[in-house]
Amino acid sequence: MGVSNSSYKLVVSSESPLQVDWIVPSKSKLTILKEESVETTKAIGKGKFGHVFMCKHVATSKYLAIKYIPKTIIHECQSASRIQQEMEVLLLLKHPFVVSYYCTYETNQCFCICLHYAAGGELYSLMKKSYKFSEQMAKFYFCEIALALSYLHNDLNIVYRDLKPENILLDCHGHVKLCDFGFAAPLDNEKSTLIDGCGTAMYVAPEIAGGFMKKNHGFPVDWWGLGCVLYEMIAGKAPFGDTDKMSKFEIFNNINAKNPSIPLFTNKQLKLLINGLLAKDPNARMNWKHVQSHPWLADVNWNDFMNLRIIPPWKPLNNKAPNTDCFLSWNELKLPTETVSHEVAGYCNSISIPKAKAESTKGKNADSFIEDEKEYFDKTSKNKPSPMQPASSSRRKSISGSGAGSPSQVVPDNAAPNMGRRASMSKQASMKGGM
């Protein structure tokens, strides 16, 4: 069975989704004190900066994702400050459409970031298998991503800076989980800007592409990225070209000088939304204020979305037993085992694993988790739920490879960034008007 693309409609569920008991719950308080607490099972993601594995938490026999960042790579890229910032950002995140962070632990070879396992794989794989989404199907994913961005910007003052289909995961029920916060950075306020360049060539905003990683940018780059993702869901291709077929400079020229060709079948209101999100001038670009009241989203009940009441158009088929069905196999990937040099260890000693605020541990084992499956928000609603419509449960096989929580593509300042489709670019972070 495939995605019920053309027939899908936004429908409110009258039932709660069944619990998947082999995955560590997203709201669990999971503490891992040593590498013996987990068993690595299968690699599900590969990036320039590290690898992601599905791992088994020994004490509970439940599964999570762990992002292993080798200390040798951190040293080579001189990226201690960026890794520090990523962990500090992850510690702040608590939202239904952002991947849940449990903790970080350290081995001799790696920093190990422990995350919720999103069993549905990447939205990118689903998009490539489906080619195009119907407007209603695209609307579902658009709304959940938009709510995640609104949370980052308005609640945390964090700009994400690497929105693309590969960084949008789907959980075991088919809901969005934004992942990979390697480029996320805090801003003092909505007028603060950053002057380092990062992102992925196909999705960077003109304020980055125009200055080739030198121009000021802030929250509007994320809404540009969302416009690119929305266009790709509807049109079946990226709006300004693909690095599989074009050079990054050709794509940058298109981003700076051309408007995307929106398919003729697209309705007027959706065209206006795409054009508004892809406005070249960041000051004229649409943001959350415009999105939440846009006519194309007139049928959206944002409260229902926030409370996970809208039935997703797709979910993984196999939720009964531990599996990596929605990810490519990366069996050749191995974790480093050699002891790092004194130079590498000394450099990485500057990284301090941030601690969550202290909570009462009376009656709890330090190497265990507390299951807490309550919803993130109050589930009371004035709206009466409509009859439940079954969502497609067919699994889409992954076509391409990074997987859950793909590691950030961080490069040293003197290196030319790899601008392949899955590669992100980065230069050392620098803040203007902030921090």
150: domain CATH number is 1.10.510.10
Cβ-based neighbours of 135, under 8 Å, separated by 6 or more: 234, 266, 267, 270
What values do phi and psi take at 32, rounded to 5?
Answer: -115, 120
**178 within a domain of the structure (yes/no):** yes
**322 within a domain of the structure (yes/no):** no
The residues with which 359 forms a beta bridge, in sequence order, are: none
Distance in angstroms (rounded) separating the CA atoms of residues 327 and 122: 8
**383 within a domain of the structure (yes/no):** no
Distance in angstroms (rounded) separating the CA atoms of residues 195 and 18: 45
Distance in angstroms (rounded) separating the CA atoms of residues 346 and 68: 19
Is residue 205 within 8 Å of residue 282, measured between CB atoms? yes
Active-site residue (options: 162, 171, 196, 222): 162
Q: DSSP readout, 274-298?
A: HHHHT-SSTTTS--HHHHTT-GGGT
pTM: 0.82
Is residue 397 within 8 Å of residue 36, measured between CB atoms? no
Distance in angstroms (rounded) separating the CA atoms of residues 302 and 95: 14
Helix (H, G, I), strand (E, B) or coil at 338: coil
Q: Which amino acid is at 423?
A: A
Domain containing 393 equals 123-316+389-407
What is the CB neighbour count within 10 angstroms for residue 48?
18
**432 within a domain of the structure (yes/no):** no
Catalytic site includes residue 155: no
In the numeric block, which tokens belong to residue 192? 């603060």
**399 within a domain of the structure (yes/no):** yes
How many domains does one find in the chain?
A: 1
Buried b (16+ CB within 10 A) or exposed e, 68-98: bbbbbbbbbbebbebbbbbbebbbbbebbbb
Each residue's pLDDT expressed in tens, for the chain with a length of 435 residues: 344 467 899 999 988 777 799 999 988 887 777 889 999 999 998 877 789 999 999 999 999 999 999 999 999 999 999 999 999 999 999 999 999 999 999 999 999 999 999 999 999 999 999 989 999 999 999 999 999 999 999 999 999 999 999 999 999 999 999 999 999 999 887 777 777 778 889 999 999 888 654 578 899 999 999 999 999 999 999 999 998 899 999 999 999 999 999 998 899 999 999 999 999 999 999 999 999 999 999 999 999 999 999 999 999 888 889 999 999 888 888 899 999 999 999 999 999 999 875 443 333 333 333 333 333 333 333 333 333 233 333 322 222 223 333 333 322 232 323 333 456 665 443 333 333
